[in-house]
A and B are shown apart, each in its own frame.
Chain A
């Protein structure tokens, strides 16, 4: 390796960089993200040309045993060799994707049903060859689901049909091939959700690489008209299309992308707090934190990191947590909640009153703010019972040293009712809609909120 002189070889370098940009480092196949895009492209092309397209979804059987027995290094070396077998088993041009740790997708344009079944049979045979690993001969096997392109396919519909067929092959005991359409029909809703999740995951990756994330800020306004805080709300848009948080947050939590999204929003929120302070405002920035984020052992370090980067005092930052998090049994979650408070940042109980509100534990919570759920506020002022709860909760939280905020205030009457109940501040469309940082800064300066 080092004996060879290193001539500056531009062609080699360019071809390498072009080839590797979307590649799974272990197998040399396309990585999941690039694979999803390749499938979407191939489906669009097959649709426009009315040509054939086949997808084989290959999933290793009992791969976990390999990992458990030989460690991840051993597992990786098996994956490398399986990938070689798959590639050498396919003689026609196509795309190879590593979808997950032990899942591969082979995409072959122009292949018909008979050809696809023949190819899958050949791959099963190749994969089944005994494989020596650490002096032990293992016999790998795989389950393969096949799907064929249909007229007017949804871009990822093909992939999702292959996946379902593969799952059916597994269900039948593995080491077999199932053609899509021959498996029992799954519930329509399930299919819809799986399809959407794949698309959202792919969009989130694109957003993280291309700057498609943004925070918007919704002001929380005191009874005297001053701004107590602004709540940061994450927005994600890819190719001009907005994805609502209720859709992308669950996918981010499922895929682990939430850690990066969460850290990103800590720094962005802290930056905004510093900008507000620079223009003379003492308004806090409230940042939403999910349970998954709090399972990270480096959460507190990241929080401090964001404060240091933005050069902002912890008192200007507030974390919004759902009430169940305060009572979470996980030691890491608990340590992070207490650690955040110890760092000096405020803690708000979000959407209070809709979960398992436990009055006895309220006295021990390290929270500094209580946000009453919109469910109580939306029915004001007509619902006297709701009003009674709001008034009593406000008094209780006050006595416990917390600031009380009413969420979802949409009318003048609701605002007045909140004032009558003694609520400290309100948040909702009646006061102000969420706005970008560029809009927020001049808005705060202008004093229009008063």
Chain B
């Protein structure tokens, strides 16, 4: 999470005011299971899936917005759910629906909006970056999905523990210890583990779940014996690099992750400083279109 969104965190009292319901794991909407079921058919019925999505106006609007996101770079504008479906394909659609529903499941406060906006920008930059470095080891849409879900554990911790705000601030500023180690000092688990459990609950692919779980851990990325799938490693370094570019460009959202993970990112993506400078420049153009 970035300081950018941190700055807009409500006061502790503000967090307390949020109703902490007994059971508010973002539920996995039935629609995802249905889309997945449709995908398993030899000739999936796009009309049927379209009907399912159209039955939820917010979802339909969100999906059309996703298809028209500059990240996907389609020349054509999606004007209907059917357009969006044909452009995105069923796999990306089911993930987009997951991401939209996840966001809808949390209360619509300015604080959470800022959080999701930061995630959305990192996701978009990640997808863009994944296309730029064109590596057959991962898919740009996985980088995009990963960016959206990477930090969802933070939202849960904020909901459960008002004092987590302070832990988060310390974790963001700690240049020595791992982000998750700072969290574990105060809590018996951390946002990476929570995010992984949620992602599993939403049937996301194993590589994405594992990447969420290890996205603050340099040894998991660097050491071959860590057992982290290569695809997961790439997802992590893409999103960390995307976040770094975002921080460089906006100036506001400083964390200590780049000093801890930057060298692994550059190595795995075969980047040097000159290439990074070009990415800053091109990222700036992209960011204008995202906002």
Contacts and interface: CB of A to CB of B under 8 A. Distances in A.
A312 B136 CA distance: 42
A275 B275 CA distance: 52
B198 interface: yes
A6 B278 contact: no
A210 interface: yes
Given A271-B23, A309-B197, A2 B278 contact: yes
A210 B37 contact: yes
B136 A304 contact: no
A297 interface: no
A412 to B, nearest CB: 36
A311 B20 contact: yes
A311 B138 CA distance: 35
B89 interface: yes
Interface residues of B, number: 62
A363 B124 CA distance: 58
A71 B226 CA distance: 13
A301 interface: yes
Contact of B209 (A5, A10, A76, A260): A260
B18 interface: no
Nearest to B209: A260
Nearest to A277: B22
* Max chain B Cβ within 10 angstroms of own Cβ: one of A1, A76, A300, A305: A305
Contacts of B193: 298, 301-302, 305
B139 A20 contact: yes
Contact of A13 (B73, B189, B201, B231): B73
Contacts of B200: 260, 263-264, 267
A8 B74 contact: yes
A111 to B, nearest CB: 26
B117 to A, nearest CB: 23
A301 B225 contact: no
Given A17-B140, A301-B193, A305-B197, A278 B22 contact: yes
Contact of A268 (B133, B201, B282): B201
A267 B200 CA distance: 9
A246 interface: no
Interface string B121-148: 0000000100111101111110000000
Contacts of B206: 208, 260
Given A25-B230, A305-B189, A1 B275 contact: yes
Interface of B: 20-25, 28, 32-33, 36-37, 39-40, 70, 72-75, 89, 91-92, 128, 131-134, 136-141, 156-157, 160, 184, 187-190, 193-194, 196-198, 200-201, 203, 205-206, 209, 224-225, 229-231, 270-271, 275, 278-279, 282
Interface of A: 1-3, 5-10, 13-14, 16-17, 20-21, 23, 25-26, 28, 71-73, 76, 206, 208-211, 239, 260, 263-264, 266-268, 271, 274-275, 277-278, 298, 300-302, 304-306, 308-312, 343
24 contacts: A1-B270, A2-B279, A6-B132, A8-B75, A14-B89, A17-B89, A17-B139, A21-B139, A23-B136, A26-B137, A28-B136, A72-B224, A206-B40, A260-B209, A263-B200, A298-B193, A300-B188, A301-B190, A302-B197, A305-B189, A305-B193, A308-B189, A309-B25, A311-B23
